[in-house]
Structure 1
Amino acid sequence: MLKWTPALAVGIEEIDEQHQELFRRAERFVASLETADRQEIGILLSYLRMYCVTHFGAEEAWMRDVRYDGYAAHKAEHDRFVKDVLRLSDEHERRGGPGLEAMKVGSYLSRWLREHVTSTDTAFARFLLSQSA
């Protein structure tokens, strides 16, 4: 469900490598919801969140450097995703709460990552590739 495949490649090695890592972290996090204790889930969620911020920051810096017209919309998608992950963290940490539902969280992460990579990130990659042609 959260496996990165070559079909998700945008054609820029640095971005593709980061996406592969992002998918690995998301997959590990979702798998932990079924088997890990609450503390380990929190650690993996934090690990995912930190990598998102790192990866998104790198992409956004690159967009600013090349004066990408789609920067504002692309950054807004990143910001919404980070906000959603922070909401998941809050939900997870709520004392006495039900915890996170693996299927629901996995479905959301898979859908968002695939849609973002295949549309928004691919558009940015096309722009970058056209600049170097």
Structure 2
Amino acid sequence: MPGLYIQDIPHKGRGVFCGHDLQEGDTIELCPVIIIPPSEVPSIHGTHLHDYYFLWPASPGAACIALGYGSLYNHHRDPNAEVIMDLDAAMIEIRCSKPIPAGTEILIDYTDGGSAEAPLWFQEE
């Protein structure tokens, strides 16, 4: 989507923003993915890539790296965007789940709608 940009956020790193208002249901981004087979997933633990991959449900134990800005969206338990996986096309759609004013960080839920007690691999701010 035109207007997406990356901005540094204190104590968080980088985040994805949009320069114009987004409405519920808008496709924010379509991201092709690089699928990591289950046998290779352990090799990314302990690397910087560990913080940027998604589990890939088409193959148990597999993961993927989303291209574009796809692996850079930050987490929030009350996100303003959702992740929709197209397993056949090997794509991830980032879709607006509530109105997002221009200049607001676009956030997804890393727990895939899990409970608020679901463990994360980082400390939430």
Q: Name the TM-score class by shorter chain.
A: under 0.3
Question: TM-score by structure 1 length?
Answer: 0.26
- Which has more strand, going by share of residues? 2
Bigger RCO of structures 1 and 2 (CA < 8 A, at least 6 apart)? 1
From the CA coordinates, give the structure whose radius of gyration is larger. 1
* Length-normalised TM-score, structure 2: 0.27
